[in-house]
Structure 1
């Protein structure tokens, strides 16, 4: 029987989804047994205490969330250790990490398509996941010629150890140009923003549109309005962690390997339910597309709604969103198709039709261009097994 010591936080939606993935692999490969050691055990007894306990229990591997790592102590165990990185990634160990930069890029592209010209990031720089999500967001926004406002007074904050100051955050929010697209480093921080907005009568999404990360259903639905969030491939990442540990235990591999959790999609809710375009007719067209992209829809249909010629609409639409009308419709359909691929068992052709595609022959080519893989590959990669 394989014994896995879990030294991590499973109070969050992220942690629970991760554990579900590990347990799913264990059911297939078992028998495995787990022991959940609370994080405070390490705080009380240090790495020496963790090593003693692991030896006494006979642990075969450890999954640990560590803000700092003493390799000299942990290496005494001579068992596989996968570290869920927090402050930094670690050399000489396998990291459970993420495509943090790509998550920030996804957030920026989402808001740019909605026509925003003012952007803000809520997160700090002393943890790798906050820092890189912010970098991806800032770099992508900068590529379109806009700055990103950040809450920064020169202090180095430390994740959830930061003493939240609602007054300070409210002053920052009130000073931001409006409307503004705010990307928070995760749902916990996004919820702080919507709570402060509620306290200080700041309209969400009218003045500030808010997007988080993790798609933690509890946190997203506690918020008023409910939080839009980037869904990560967490459970499948946990499955890969289990598989990697098994390979280490069986001596199939020996060198450290990182497990990288990818962003999958944006789950839109009330906190981003608006467009920030200056042209009311472009805003009208955007709203109509979002309501009707699953039906037959052409640029000619849209021109009938507004007093613009096709040429004028195309010019103004691209000026507001950065892409053409046709590209926007295709993006909405591809996003819907991708969502159906990982949340349903619909056949590919039926899922494509549900997303508004009438000609399936070309969809794979379009999908590969936008998502970097075929629809079938995407389903195999991101659907929860």
Structure 2
């Protein structure tokens, strides 16, 4: 009997569609798009047999021979457009938005991240912090980074419209061989900028480079340079001592929308020419952009040091040594400028970090105490009771109740 396998009848009508997802899963943006596709499949009765290339570098190889039913692909890669445009199965494109409509492909439906709104959200946040000077750290021109130049174009358009100074630095490509020189050039650029200034980085990866360069150049973040990235990449947060403010793209919504469109196309709907612009989700505000003016250079330098090492058990004497003044002089500047002692500022930093980890992670409380520089979990409990009149566990319960309302 046709379709009989091991006594089970396989109905061709019930066979799942074979769908290729052509993305670079090494990148947080691509992974979020893929997650959105997965969420769509899990929330519907759609059954797809998904193909994903294990090595993203060869994801276009032999795609012309793919015996499948549809494709969702990252069209920020020009090779995707060139390879898939003549594929005789439904294709949905995902990529960056363009200020010139002629840059969109005509042949396929296109789901785009709203680059202009990403930059506007970052810029408006810096405005809200009281900054009046702005800069943009982008990428050098390359066919695979057209999205980056759209973000640069959006930044230039905003500062031109609002008649404010907006400096742009594209820097060098990231490579192991040229990394030393690239960082030196970045430190030089940052040192020459008028300050205070807010910088929008084209990605979190570039924002992390800014933070590294500021540490190397002894430039206080955010008192002298406030930084906002794009992607809300957890890896970037792990690799920086100063928590990074970042705009959250609507990448998962892009994935859900792309899956929905392909689903409709597989059912016979004509979606050619469809354009969907997906706005950002919001902004994750962290220490890198929380600018507040400080007049004392000693307090500015000390605050920068505390943000980097405050959870590593540093004492007031170490901060004073870093600043290059006596403990007495530093304490006088802190009391005059912040109305707090150096120890109180260090403790506040540790508590703020602990509260963030308690509220936004699954890290055990004992590990949080260690990470935040408390000598023991019991001591962290004692400090919480003294400062907040509650335990860390009660703080977590209160946060969950607040989030649920």
TM (normalized to structure 1)? 0.63
1:183 aligned residue: 200
Kindly indicate whether the alpha-carbon contact (under 8 Å) linking 2:133 and 2:196 is maintained by their aligned counterparts in 1. yes
Instruction: State whether structure 2 residue 183 is matched by structure 1 residue 170.
Output: no
CA distance in 2, matches of 1:62, 1:3: 11
Instruction: State whether structure 2 residue 109 is matched by structure 1 residue 98.
Output: no
1:83 aligned residue: 93
CA distance in 2, matches of 1:162, 1:134: 26
Instruction: State whether structure 2 residue 79 is matched by structure 1 residue 63.
Output: no
Quote the offset at 1:60 in angstroms: 2.8
CA distance in 1, matches of 2:261, 2:128: 38
Kindly indicate whether the alpha-carbon contact (under 8 Å) linking 2:111 and 2:257 is maintained by their aligned counterparts in 1. no
1:244 aligned residue: 261
- Runs of 5+ consecutive residues of structure 2 not aligned to the other structure: 1-15, 296-359, 361-405
CA distance in 1, matches of 2:170, 2:155: 16
Kindly indicate whether the alpha-carbon contact (under 8 Å) linking 2:70 and 2:91 is maintained by their aligned counterparts in 1. no
1:220 to 209, 228, 237: 237
Pair 234,160 (structure 1): closer, same or farther in 2 beyond 3 Å: farther
Quote the offset at 1:171 in angstroms: 0.9
Quote the offset at 1:72 in angstroms: 6.8
Quote the offset at 1:64 in angstroms: 3.5
Quote the offset at 1:256 in angstroms: 3.1
**SS in structure 1 of the partner of residue 273 of structure 2:** coil
2:289 aligned residue: 272
CA distance in 2, matches of 1:142, 1:191: 27
Pair 114,260 (structure 1): closer, same or farther in 2 beyond 3 Å: same
Quote the offset at 1:213 in angstroms: 0.8
- Count of paired positions: 269
Quote the offset at 1:219 in angstroms: 1.2
CA distance in 1, matches of 2:175, 2:112: 18
Quote the offset at 1:259 in angstroms: 3.4
1:112 to 124, 127, 138: 127
**SS in structure 2 of the partner of residue 263 of structure 1:** coil
1:354 aligned residue: none
2:157 to 139, 149, 163: 139
Instruction: State whether structure 2 residue 127 is matched by structure 1 residue 122.
Output: no
Deviations 1:123-166 (A, max 9, x none): 1355332222223223323333311111258xxx7788995511
Q: Counterparts in 2 of 1:344-383, with a 5 A limit? A: none
CA distance in 2, matches of 1:251, 1:158: 44
Kindly indicate whether the alpha-carbon contact (under 8 Å) linking 1:7 and 1:65 is maintained by their aligned counterparts in 2. no
Query: Please, what is the CA RMSD of the aligned residues?
Result: 2.8
Moved >6 Å (runs of 4+): 157-162
Deviations 1:305-361 (A, max 9, x none): xxxxxxxxxxxxxxxxxxxxxxxxxxxxxxxxxxxxxx9xxxxxxxxxxxxxxxxxx
CA distance in 2, matches of 1:72, 1:199: 43
CA distance in 1, matches of 2:177, 2:160: 28
Kindly indicate whether the alpha-carbon contact (under 8 Å) linking 1:104 and 1:132 is maintained by their aligned counterparts in 2. no
2:280 to 263, 268, 284: 263
Pair 31,226 (structure 1): closer, same or farther in 2 beyond 3 Å: same
1:209 to 222, 226, 231: 226
Kindly indicate whether the alpha-carbon contact (under 8 Å) linking 1:17 and 1:238 is maintained by their aligned counterparts in 2. yes
CA distance in 1, matches of 2:91, 2:150: 24
**Greater gyration radius:** 2
1:22 to 26, 37, 45: 37
1:151 to 150, 157, 169: 169
- Runs of 5+ consecutive residues of structure 1 not aligned to the other structure: 279-342, 344-385
**SS in structure 2 of the partner of residue 140 of structure 1:** helix
Instruction: State whether structure 2 residue 19 is matched by structure 1 residue 4.
Output: yes
Quote the offset at 1:59 in angstroms: 4.0
Deviations 1:67-116 (A, max 9, x none): 21476753443112223336964332222321101211222211112221
CA distance in 2, matches of 1:105, 1:201: 29
Pair 73,10 (structure 1): closer, same or farther in 2 beyond 3 Å: closer
Pair 246,77 (structure 1): closer, same or farther in 2 beyond 3 Å: same
**SS in structure 2 of the partner of residue 226 of structure 1:** coil
CA distance in 1, matches of 2:47, 2:28: 26
1:298 aligned residue: none
CA distance in 1, matches of 2:287, 2:254: 28
TM (normalized to structure 2)? 0.60
